[in-house]
Amino acid sequence: MTRKLYSLLLALLLAAATPVFAQEPPAAPASPPAPVAWSSLSPQQQQLLSRFGGQWSSLPPGRQQALAHGSERWLGMSAEQRDKARDRFSHWQTLPPEQRHALRGRWQKFQALPPNEQANVRENFHKFQQLPPAQRQMLREQWRNANPAQRQQMIEHAREQRQKGPLLRPPQAPPPHR
């Protein structure tokens, strides 16, 4: 799947979850992140983050936590996963700043969703990926050509379908006796 398609699909899926944002109560202010001691990092993490070693204590605690978490994830990846991550990062760097800003905003909205809504978005994304290319293209065109009211109607229809659960197949007639 192309990156552009992935971005479009993610935007569609997040749009489907948009009404959830309006229903969420305002979040309580989070406690400030705790600093991460350089000595608490594994030797592999310290090696990976060595360029930050001299300034580690002066980094904001949130940045320290993000780097520590990212280094854990990186070290847990296979070589293939690392290559894919490098490719995605290279692509990210080529995007215009306004597109990066929009994608970052959608990602933050996704992260703000409750876990069950995140799971729904992921499930819908995987279902979309399983569709034949022609059907995916048809759905993309329908979305692109729809006005905001029609898009909202599409979202509500999809929610209703999801709430109904998987469609049950009608019982098949037994084969004729010979």
SS3 readout for the chain: CCHHHHHHHHHHHHHHHHHHHHHCCCCCCCCCCCCCCHHHCCHHHHHHCHHHHHHHHHCCHHHHHHHHHHHHHHHHCCHHHHHHHHHHHHHHHHCCHHHHHHHHHHHHHHHHCCHHHHHHHHHHHHHHHHCCHHHHHHHHHHHHHCCHHHHHHHHHHHHHHHHHCCCCCCCCCCCCCC
The answer to whether 2 and 129 are in contact (CB under 8 A) is no
pLDDT value at residue 22: 42
pLDDT value at residue 132: 93
The 10 Å Cβ neighbour count of residue 121 is 18
pLDDT value at residue 12: 44
The 10 Å Cβ neighbour count of residue 95 is 14
The residue type found at 151 is R
Retrieve residue 98's tokens.
């306004």
Which whole-number Å values give the CA distances from 143 to 26, 32, 92, 138, 156, in the listed order? 30, 41, 25, 9, 13
pLDDT value at residue 113: 93
pLDDT value at residue 177: 53
- Positions of the chain with pLDDT lower than 70, given as ranges: 1-30, 165-178
Q: Distance between CA atoms of 60 and 47, rounded to whole angstroms?
A: 20
The answer to whether 103 and 95 are in contact (CB under 8 A) is yes
The answer to whether 45 and 72 are in contact (CB under 8 A) is yes
